[in-house]
Each structure stands twice: as structure tokens, then as C-alpha cells.
Amino acid sequence: MNLSGTRVGASAKSASAGNTDLQGRWLLFARTVWVIVVVLTLGLFVVSIPSYFAYLHILSATPTDDIGAQLARQDVQQLQAEPMSLTQKHISRYLAQPAILRNPKVRSLLREVCHEVKTSSGEKS
């Protein structure tokens, strides 16, 4: 009694009846459509970057909590009133983690940035 052979044969026939793999011209057509969609999507993204950059440099009349939105005049004034630059704030957060300073590339990058910050603020090293 070899029932497993008949089951495999029956399942192979049912699998081939519902086979949805693309072959030949349909596969080429699907790949071409996929490439066209990807190229158009990437093209629209790249083309939209300059206009979004310009949009972000225009001040908004009213403050908003939306991330990625325009800055309001109040936000700009608050940033300018800060005694520390945004770069120093960003770096100081990572300097509190001693494990990140083990990487020599990170240490050299931080030294360069700190040197630039010192020279831009008028201090001499």
C-alpha cells in the first residue's frame, strides 16, 4: 500500500492547475512595468527635493506641531536664543555614551566637528 505516491501525484496536479508564475512575454511585461514604476517614483522623489527644500526655508505664519513642516517665526527666534548650536546639542548626546567613543572613526569625526565649532564661535585651539 503506497498511498504517499498517489497523494504527491494528486497534489502536483492541483498545484500545476493553480500555478500563477509568470513566464515568457508576461514575465518580461511585468518586469518592464516594475522598472518603469520604480524609475518614475525615484524620478519624482528627486525632482521634488528642491521644491521641498525651498518650502522649508519659508517661515510659517502660525506655529505647528507637525514634524517636517515649516518653522514659525517663534521657533526661529527660540533657536537663535539658544546659547549652544544645534551641532553641539547633537554631539553632546552621543558623548554621554562611552561605548561610541571606542570607534576611532567616530572619535576623529567628533574632534573635527568640535574644532569647527570652536573656530566658528571665535575660540582658538
Delimit the domains of the chain by residue range: 21-81, 83-125
Mean pLDDT of the chain: 74
Please report the pLDDT score of residue 66 as a whole number: 66
Q: CB within 8 A of 110, min separation 6: which ones?
A: 91, 94, 95, 101
Helices (DSSP H) in 1-125: which residue ranges? 3-17, 24-56, 73-81, 86-95, 104-120
* Residue-wise pLDDT tens digits, 17-33: 566 788 889 999 999 99
- pTM for the model stands at 0.42
- The answer to whether 101 and 95 have CB atoms below 8 angstroms apart is yes
C-alpha cell of residue 17: 492547475
Q: CB within 8 A of 88, min separation 6: which ones?
A: 117
* Residue-wise pLDDT tens digits, 32-68: 999 999 999 999 999 999 988 888 778 777 777 666 6
C-alpha cell of residue 104: 576611532
